Structure 1
């Protein structure tokens, strides 16, 4: 079925309403106007009849032999000047002394509405049919000098003339009504055009369809979507956004402050420039936000923000990094062990048995010392696996890796995950191994303890050290001292971020080429 356009609906509604109101007003006006004109005519007729009844010429004429000859000329002149349809003067027997039709003089008055004036002496208005037709009449008794009723004066206006005047007045009103209808048509057309401009030329059913589609799209996307107006009030929010922000109730028309980090939203409102891939922390989540301004004819009228939880993505990336790191460590161990087997095989083939035995004893002694600390004093398997991998990596790079004999560590708390440990300790050890590369006697030391309320991890190296001016920037994302052209500067930034998530701290000391990174992680989080 073909949809009716907005213009047609507005025009039809306005015309129907205008015609209904005009018809209602016309009926009401006709009724009230008729009553008022009839009342005015009746009052005028009554006043005229009173005036004539008190005229000395009329009262004195009743004492003559031919009252009609005196009264007829007088009242006819008054009738013509006042516009009355008739003025009839009769005696107490209702015999006429005057009438617009001379042939009716001397005949009995008609209508049957004279008794109240002749009998009771009342002044009143009545409606009755006489010789000229239905009329509105004013009745007044005529008294002589002794106060006796000697006659009656009847002044009348035909009802037909009253109706004609009503229609005449009504026709003027109809012209005004037609003008009102024309103005209504023009106004409704302009209103429809204005509404169409405001709705971008869309019909109401198209707007409804777009609204349904918008809701379906908002709810179907996995990203959180939030829209605010120029006052910072929320105009829409989809379910993924509510779930991500842990909001259950309706937030429409509430201020965005307190419900969502609004810094970038208000920056976009002020500048009109979009903000892309901004990272913010909200409660226990890391969120990536994109903000886009909404423009109208007056400028920025609002902002739409799309955001997603980075925590899950980071966990996946961290897991992949962890797997890659362990893979590299295992490869390094395998490579180093293979090299040692080749050397041992060569010594045996050459008959250098003493040297082969010395090499085996040296390796066994070194491994026994490291393994004693790793397996007897470090009792957390996650840390053991991490250290074994780094030992192999250091051995491949010909770097001495020492584990302090005073290190002691029980099983780590459950809230510290392997991926987090890898990001913190693994990155710091890797940085230390890179820092000592190329040194004459490269050395990296590791120490760990859980004495007290904190877990303490300490990594030191004898590399070139960190310039004092760079220490405050080493945890900034993207900061690096390397010039190899490959992406870098993220390891320490990631480590620092995870330490903060675990409510710990990292301290850095660098003097005379010795650099020490110390990590403090509370055994229990403040939230539990």
Structure 2
């Protein structure tokens, strides 16, 4: 590219130089012709010249060379040549006979060039070759002082050497200007080359073309969203997946902090957050955030080349399906743990009953079995009691009660609980309730005896309201418990914020049109924190029994 620019500058300078030289030569020729014409007019207008030429033309004979040498016309022409620097000043009569000439031996002879135009009364300017060589000459008619008719001519010529004596100076000036222009063009071309190298990171045009093709193929070929922006926070690259996940079609050219997105998403895109659930692995670790109906992970990576900061690239991974499957697997794992605990408890009861019978204490064994049967007849189950009968919630609460029991925490359902509908969105309900219960159990483990967690569930139309309280130490920083701030370096099981995370739980509730909030930070009278959640649109009315079926 530099060679191409230099070649272009050289051609332009060469063309301009040729044009200027041509114009300069033409100006010198025009000046010589104008000077010759002016001198010829002046000489031809002289009274002595007009009278002398008129007498010579009136003489029927041809004047001799001897009679013309040293004559008044020769003296007058010689003086004019000396004063003007002309190559020659020739005066002729009406027959073209030289009456004055720089070379005396040619006096009395006819001129070698045409004099018809002058005798016709017309002035001419031209470049012609005569006895004295090529010259810029002007021919002017000499008029009779009495009749004003042309009776001869005055021819004045300038030699090319005198005409173009200033040409070397002109050429030198043009050459100097051309050299300066060429040097300036080379410097500008070099500066432009350095500027382009700086802007393109040293890549050549062919490499840039290949880079654009590869970028388009990569961005359109990956399933994740890709967003890149420079040090000024202005988005420079965004594929269609990123635009779809963020819900903004015109991302390129806009600043990250000006996008209409939630604060946690802006912070994640700007690389301002660290992973909390993984112990803060560093700036490249990601926390899940909720975007509309999607649960995404945003990883940011700094980009640099040749120790130059080029900004950040954010990779947006849609993990909605993975999170949904994870929630379902966690629910299955909870049920499995509950069944394992129940199997273990059932085996213990069988051992107790068998031991009483082996000891011959049949009445005691019968009473023991009656107590077990009475407990199993509870409508909602041993932990849910009579206050909760919705199948999904009963299963979830029983599973969480079994897990809490293994950690020495008693989970109960409050007496004010009342759920008449059926859960229609089990994944979101399980995510929110399980997360709040897990947090409460973890907090209760580090509280005082007795360790307990209380859950109250109420439905109002299609809205489910849940309240989870515990016997832990409370929340010391309740105002920021839902923020994405980095937690203190404590045992992760000792604080609220386990599992999928309270910020994400609040985002899920907000996506449903509800909310999750801290009702009471606790920390006094042996009571821990109280969290509440409101989830609209997650309940539906129970199916009516068919006619004839037992209600």
What TM-score comes out, normalization by structure 1 length? Answer: 0.76
**Structure 2 CA distance for partners of 1:372 and 1:240, relative to 1, 3 Å:** closer
**Structure 2 CA distance for partners of 1:352 and 1:482, relative to 1, 3 Å:** farther
Alignment of 1:238-277 (within 5 A): 238-249=239-250, 251-256=251-256, 257-258=258-259, 261-263=265-267, 275-277=283-285
**Structure 2 CA distance for partners of 1:229 and 1:445, relative to 1, 3 Å:** closer
Any idea what the Cα deviations from partners look like across 1:317-353, whole Å, max 9, x if unmatched?
4344333322222211111111111101111111211
- Which residue in the other structure is 1:382 paired with? 392
Secondary structure of 2:98's counterpart equals coil
Deviates more, 1:47-56 or 1:32-41: 32-41
Count of residue pairs brought into register by the alignment: 503
1:412 and 2:423 correspond = yes
Q: Does the Cα contact within 8 Å between 1:508 and 1:515 map onto a contact in 2?
A: no
1:333 and 2:342 correspond = yes
- Which residue in the other structure is 1:139 paired with? 139
Counterpart pick for 1:21 among 1, 12, 16 = 12
TM superposition shift of 1:111? 2.3
1:78 and 2:45 correspond = no
Counterpart pick for 1:358 among 346, 367, 373 = 367
Deviates more, 1:405-414 or 1:47-56: 405-414
- Which residue in the other structure is 2:358 paired with? 349
Secondary structure of 2:100's counterpart equals coil
- Which residue in the other structure is 2:541 paired with? none
Counterpart-to-counterpart distance in 2, 1:437 and 1:343: 32
Any idea what the Cα deviations from partners look like across 1:395-451, whole Å, max 9, x if unmatched?
776958466386333112337546425524643674587478853xx7665543324
Secondary structure of 1:521's counterpart equals strand
TM superposition shift of 1:154? 1.4
**Structure 2 CA distance for partners of 1:167 and 1:379, relative to 1, 3 Å:** same
Q: Does the Cα contact within 8 Å between 2:338 and 2:402 map onto a contact in 1?
A: yes
Secondary structure of 1:43's counterpart equals helix
**Structure 2 CA distance for partners of 1:429 and 1:366, relative to 1, 3 Å:** farther
Secondary structure of 2:285's counterpart equals strand
Counterpart-to-counterpart distance in 1, 2:111 and 2:488: 129
Alignment of 1:20-419 (within 5 A): 20-62=11-53, 63=55, 69-112=71-114, 114-120=115-121, 122-149=122-149, 150-158=151-159, 161=161, 168=168, 171-172=171-172, 175-176=175-176, 179-180=179-180, 183=183, 187=187, 190-191=190-191, 194=194, 198=198, 202-219=203-220, 223-249=224-250, 251-256=251-256, 257-258=258-259, 261-263=265-267, 275-277=283-285, 279=287, 281=289, 283-284=291-292, 285=294, 287-291=296-300, 302-309=311-318, 311-312=320-321, 314-371=323-380, 378=388, 380-390=390-400, 392=402, 399=410, 401=412, 404=415, 407-414=418-425, 417=428, 419=430
TM superposition shift of 1:254? 3.0
- Which residue in the other structure is 1:523 paired with? 536
Secondary structure of 1:93's counterpart equals coil
**Structure 2 CA distance for partners of 1:329 and 1:476, relative to 1, 3 Å:** farther
Q: Does the Cα contact within 8 Å between 1:278 and 1:288 map onto a contact in 2?
A: yes
Counterpart-to-counterpart distance in 2, 1:444 and 1:194: 69
Counterpart-to-counterpart distance in 1, 2:339 and 2:435: 19
CA RMSD between the two structures: 4.5
- Which residue in the other structure is 2:279 paired with? none
What runs of 5+ residues in structure 2 fail to find an aligned partner? Answer: 57-62, 273-281, 539-551
What runs of 5+ residues in structure 1 fail to find an aligned partner? Answer: 1-8, 269-273
What TM-score comes out, normalization by structure 2 length? Answer: 0.74
